[in-house]
């Protein structure tokens, strides 16, 4: 008991909802199995306490790295949850972030407070600790809402991807079928994808062209008033 204040203070944590896609372009969420009380053994979102000399986002980045090994990803603040009894220990307010990662780039490894770290299908989640189920719901909603109007889907794919992969990703997250020709026409007309003149390898059928997302071009167009929309 070394830190004293004139007024009582809540504790503040960050939690991260990490989204990824599996090989079939299905949505996955990275959870850790808690190694300590409370909810020891339960699955939860990676996260932890904020240090006084780091910004909130820095804390999110640090916790992600510490608990899962993930580094340098798309990370954006989601929402702050602060119901009085959301944590049995104490009054704890948590600032939730969501991250989009290309699963292929990482080998997940559990560290620090986490007993284990694992990808779960967004459709078959285990019981979660605290109010993490609720946080996850908000994150899924946000992802769904944002995907149509911001070019963030590419964060979930490898840098080189096929149009079919991209379409499947949209279909998964938006939970609706899209027309192949219309989808291709629309996305190509934006001139945001560059045909890198390479072909998909290792498939036992006609290989697809590979494309890359041109972020700089997007920034330019955005400046000029362009609105991305699928």
Partner DNA sequence: CTTGCTTAGTGTAAAATTTACACTTTGTCT
Partner DNA sequence: AGACAAAGTGTAAATTTTACACTAAGCAAG
| 1 near a copy of itself (CB under 8 A) | yes
Q: Which of residues 21-60 bind DNA (CB under 7 A)?
A: none
Binds 164, which of a copy of itself, DNA, none (CB < 5 to 8 A, cut-off by type)? DNA
Contact letters (x/-) for a copy of itself, 50-79, by CB under 8 A? x-xxxxx--------------------x-x
Q: Which of 93, 86, 90, 94 lies closest to 16 in space, CA to CA?
A: 94
| 176 near a copy of itself (CB under 8 A) | no
| 10 near a copy of itself (CB under 8 A) | yes
Q: Containing H/E element for 181?
A: helix 180-189
| 179 near DNA (CB under 7 A) | yes
Sign, Cα dihedral of 190, 191, 196, 197:
positive
Residues 161-185 as b/e (b if ≥16 CB within 10 A, e otherwise) read bbbebbbbbbebbbeeeeeeeebbe
Task: Name the minimum Å distance from CB 55 to a copy of itself.
Answer: 5
Among 25, 68, 162, 172, binds DNA (CB under 7 A): 162
| 209 near DNA (CB under 7 A) | yes
| 6 near a copy of itself (CB under 8 A) | yes
Cβ atoms of residues 149 and 229 within 8 Å = yes
Task: Name the minimum Å distance from CB 82 to a copy of itself.
Answer: 4
H/E/C letters for each residue in 208-225? CEEEEECHHHHHHHHHCC
Task: Name the minimum Å distance from CB 209 to DNA.
Answer: 3
Q: 97 or 154, CB closer to DNA?
A: 154
User: How far is residue 131's CA from residue 109's CA, in Å, rounded to a whole number?
Assistant: 24
Q: β-pairing, 114-121 with 43-44?
A: unpaired
| 80 near DNA (CB under 7 A) | no
Residues 6+ apart with CB under 8 A from 195: 209, 210, 211
DSSP for residue 228: -
Task: Name the minimum Å distance from CB 103 to DNA.
Answer: 19
Interaction site with DNA (CB under 7 A): 162-164, 179-182, 184-186, 199, 203-209, 229
Q: Point out which residues bind a copy of itself (CB under 8 A).
A: 1-12, 49-50, 52-56, 77, 79-80, 82-84, 91, 93, 95
């Amino acid at each position: 008991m070394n830190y004293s204040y004139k007024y009582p203070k809540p504790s503040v944590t960050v939690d991260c909802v990490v989204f990824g896609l599996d090989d079939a372009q299905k949505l996955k969420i990275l959870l850790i199995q808690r190694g300590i009380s409370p909810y020891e053994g339960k699955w939860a979102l990676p996260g932890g306490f904020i240090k006084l000399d780091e910004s909130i986002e820095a804390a999110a980045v640090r916790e992600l790295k510490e608990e899962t090994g993930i580094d340098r990803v798309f990370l954006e603040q989601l929402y702050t949850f602060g119901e009085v009894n959301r944590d049995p220990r104490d009054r704890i307010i948590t600032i939730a972030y969501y991250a989009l990662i290309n699963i292929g780039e990482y080998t997940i490894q559990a560290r620090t407070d986490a007993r284990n770290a694992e990808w779960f299908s967004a459709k078959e989640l285990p019981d979660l600790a605290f109010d993490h189920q609720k946080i996850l719901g908000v994150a899924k909603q946000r992802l769904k809402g944002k995907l149509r109007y911001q070019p963030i889907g590419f964060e979930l794919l490898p840098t080189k991807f096929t149009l079919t992969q991209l379409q499947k990703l949209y279909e998964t997250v938006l939970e609706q079928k899209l027309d192949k020709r219309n989808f291709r026409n629309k996305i190509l007309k934006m001139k945001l994808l560059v045909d890198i003149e390479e072909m998909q390898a290792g498939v036992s059928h006609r290989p697809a062209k590979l494309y890359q997302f041109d972020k700089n071009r997007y920034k330019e167009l955005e400046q000029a008033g362009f609105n991305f929309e699928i």
